[in-house]
Chains A and B, each alone.
Chain A
């Protein structure tokens, strides 16, 4: 199964609170009128500029194991080594919001408007994450009737949770996301920058559950595994 999907911006629009959280604001902090204006201006820009799209492609566990192994630079032990073998279905994915938003962010910095540039960047990063979530929902929908009713889909990406970023090379070689305009640089950087890649894992809440006690967890700045696991608990 391979699906290429173009999303409407409203399908992947992050909540204002998520954008402000990415900007370092606690959820209960009051939002000043000037910050609200900044948020509204950034929203107007990204709604006009984002071209959210993505592709996913089913993969067998055996083939995924080869992709995951990549160049042999993963952590000695990692959550995905436990999660993927227990999955009910797997799919590689790549998503993006396109290049236009990134260009506008650079233009705003050049025009000496870092405030709007940073807010737009936060919006763009959150929107990109929402693309991965939208692909997860679509994959789950496509699997309807083939997997257990309790199954939920979560995306996992190279560069996180012990999956070394060089794993991008094997992933891209397997999925070839040129049809959505995403390419991989020699440094394993994706262009457009506001892109996301990885594996979609379908399984019940227990499949996605792990204790964040690996060595790499200490240096993790995301620390979103708890909320992610909670999100698939029924």
Chain B
């Protein structure tokens, strides 16, 4: 069976078809890592490119992500069994004092669609909790979100604690959220800034390529 059908099912956001086709590929003896790398990830990559080119829009991307998840539900146990490594691990969270998590959740969905393992700490996350999770999970990137000017200063606290714990260079940071700007990211010494979820994926890819794990 061709991988193309699964790739198109993901691109079209057809979760039921994606799940059925993944099961069929597995049953026909396809190697799980090949299903992931030759059908699913390329499918999401096309979705990302079409989104950047404004051929499709956020709801279409989310439907594709839903299809990707449906396929991953079939494949994930097999990837674990085969010890297939993810593209990398990233810790995500909304900073201390802030409860807005929609933007962060969207970034999480996009990163998972790109093959990353996301350790989502939720919202109102203490600075050291980000760093502890990165160390425990072997994640080389911490992503932080904040909506308010009153909470975005917490991002500086995380960056500061990374330096104090002498992890700078091994654990990198990316920040985003309604109140955050490129200038603010530079000011606090964050390694990257993303204005939207797709940009976040691109920035994380670049950081992971330079520094895949702690």
Contact = CB atoms under 8 A, between A and B. Distances in A.
Interface of A: 20, 23-26, 29, 32, 34-35, 38, 105-106, 109, 112-115, 117-119, 121, 159, 164-166, 185-189, 191, 193, 219, 221
B150 A115 contact: no
Contacts of A32: 59-60
A173 to B, nearest CB: 16
B150 A165 contact: yes
Contact of B59 (A35, A109, A112, A219): A35
Nearest to A36: B59
B99 A185 contact: yes
Chain B, interface SS category: loop
Interface string B86-104: 0000000000011111100
Interface in B34-74: 57-60, 62-63, 65-66, 69
Contacts of A121: 102
B63 A187 contact: no
Contact of B13 (A24, A34, A189): A34
A221 B65 CA distance: 26
A187 B148 contact: yes
Given A34-B13, A109-B105, A188 B148 contact: yes
B151 interface: yes
A105 B101 CA distance: 10
Q: Which of B14, B109, B178 has the most CB of A within 10 A?
A: B109
Interface in B100-123: 100-102, 105-106, 109
Could you tell me the dominant secondary structure of chain A's interface residues?
loop
Interface residues of B, number: 27
B6 to A, nearest CB: 17
B58 A25 contact: yes
Interface string B8-21: 00000110000000
12 contacts: A20-B59, A38-B59, A105-B102, A106-B101, A113-B66, A115-B65, A115-B66, A118-B58, A118-B102, A118-B105, A159-B149, A187-B151
A25 B51 CA distance: 11
Interface in B179-194: 181
A187 B150 contact: yes
Contacts of A221: 178
Interface string B160-189: 000000000000000000100100000000
Nearest to A114: B109
Contacts of B148: 159, 165, 187-189
A68 B65 CA distance: 44
B100 A193 contact: yes
B106 A187 contact: no
Nearest to B70: A112
A187 B98 contact: yes
Contacts of B99: 185, 189, 191, 193
> Which 8 A-B pairs have CB atoms at the shortest separation, nearest pair first?
A115-B62, A187-B97, A24-B58, A35-B59, A25-B57, A114-B109, A187-B150, A115-B66
A193 B101 CA distance: 10
A111 to B, nearest CB: 10
Given A20-B59, A112-B69, 20 more contacts: A23-B57, A24-B57, A26-B57, A29-B57, A34-B13, A38-B59, A38-B62, A109-B101, A118-B59, A118-B62, A118-B106, A121-B102, A164-B149, A166-B150, A187-B150, A187-B151, A188-B148, A189-B148, A219-B181, A221-B178
